[in-house]
Amino acid sequence: MNAFERAFVYLNDPFNWTRTDGLGIGTLLREHLVISVIAVLLAMVIALPVGVALGHSGRGSGFIVALSNVSRAIPTLALLTIFAVTPIGFGNRATTIALAVFAIPPILTNTFVGFREVDRDVREAARAMGMSTRQVVFRAEFPLAVPLVMTGIRTAAVQVVATAGLAALVGGGGLGRLINLGFGQSDYGEVVAGAILVAVLALLTELVLVVVSWALTPGQKRLPFTQRRRASGVPEPTAAGVPL
């Protein structure tokens, strides 16, 4: 049996899903999701207001560019350990904070760019119609910025789900533990099973958020998957997209 067949066997054994010693796939999956969701929400709470404020005023572009460049250079593993060596200690709390820090740059940069790119004329027209600053931000700029803001959140969420797998290397929980344990026992079936689970979860996250961002984008709706690509095939710009 090669590793993939063994992974298949591993994934089909109900015992591996429901065992209660903290290593059941169900438990680890829940742990993985809880860590990821909290991290992304935490990052959104911090990054969205800052991104909106900076994007609306158009200031701080130097800071944003520097942030998105530097964030690419920080090794994930290092970030995951940095909070662990502070008084926060090891475990899931340190992991969650590290992942939140990790998710801030993509959300912040995309929100900033989204609000920044709103046409000047639109902004002035909204103001001329008597909208207050708050109304301009929420009723004119926000709907136009939604696609980019959602791209940022999507990038961040997929990164977080993927990176949460690394947490097991430094004492955290989540699906990465299967990979780590498998390596420890030279059980490559378990390793591949864990890898497949993390990869599928990351792809599902991407898929779900594509649908969500399609639903949230105001205006004429076309199904995201039937949409024709622009004929030129120009690659869309990615903001701070580090694959993990």
Measured CA to CA in angstroms, residue 155 lies from 4, 28, 90, 96, 161 at distances of: 29, 23, 26, 17, 10
Give the C-alpha separation, 164 to 192, whole Å.
17
Residue among 40 and 137 whose Cβ is closer to another protein: 40
Report the first-to-last Cα separation within the chain, whole angstroms.
Answer: 29
With a CB cutoff of 8 Å and minimum separation 6, the contacts of 167 are 35, 80, 92, 95, 99, 173, 174, 176
* 179 contacts another protein (rule: CB under 8 A): yes
* 229 contacts another protein (rule: CB under 8 A): yes
Cβ atoms within 10 Å, residue 108? 30
Among 76, 95, 110, 213, binds another protein (CB under 8 A): 76
Among 3, 23, 37, 53, binds another protein (CB under 8 A): 3
* 29 contacts another protein (rule: CB under 8 A): no
Question: Sign of torsion, CA 117 122 127 131?
Answer: negative
Among 98, 144, 202, 239, binds another protein (CB under 8 A): 202
In the numeric block, which tokens belong to residue 133?
């600053």
Residue 112 near residue 64 (C-beta atoms within 8 A): yes
* 210 contacts another protein (rule: CB under 8 A): no
Binding residues for another protein restricted to 82-121, rule: CB under 8 A: 82, 84-85, 90
Closest alpha carbon to 162 in 222, 103, 232: 103
Q: Provide the 3-class DSSP secondary structure of residue 136.
A: helix
**Interior/surface letters 119-135, b for 16+ CB within 10 angstroms, e for the rest:** eeeebeebeeeebeeee
**Window contacting another protein (CB under 8 A); options: 47-55, 125-133, 170-178, 219-227:** 170-178
Among 75, 87, 130, 219, binds another protein (CB under 8 A): 75
* 238 contacts another protein (rule: CB under 8 A): yes
Interface pattern 180-199 for another protein (x via CB under 8 A): x-xx----x--xx-xxx-xx
* 8 contacts another protein (rule: CB under 8 A): no
* 206 contacts another protein (rule: CB under 8 A): yes
* 166 contacts another protein (rule: CB under 8 A): yes
For binding to another protein (CB under 8 A), which residues are involved? Answer: 2-4, 69, 72-79, 81-82, 84-85, 90, 158, 161-163, 165-166, 169-171, 176, 179-180, 182-183, 188, 191-192, 194-196, 198-199, 202-203, 206, 229, 231-235, 238, 241-244
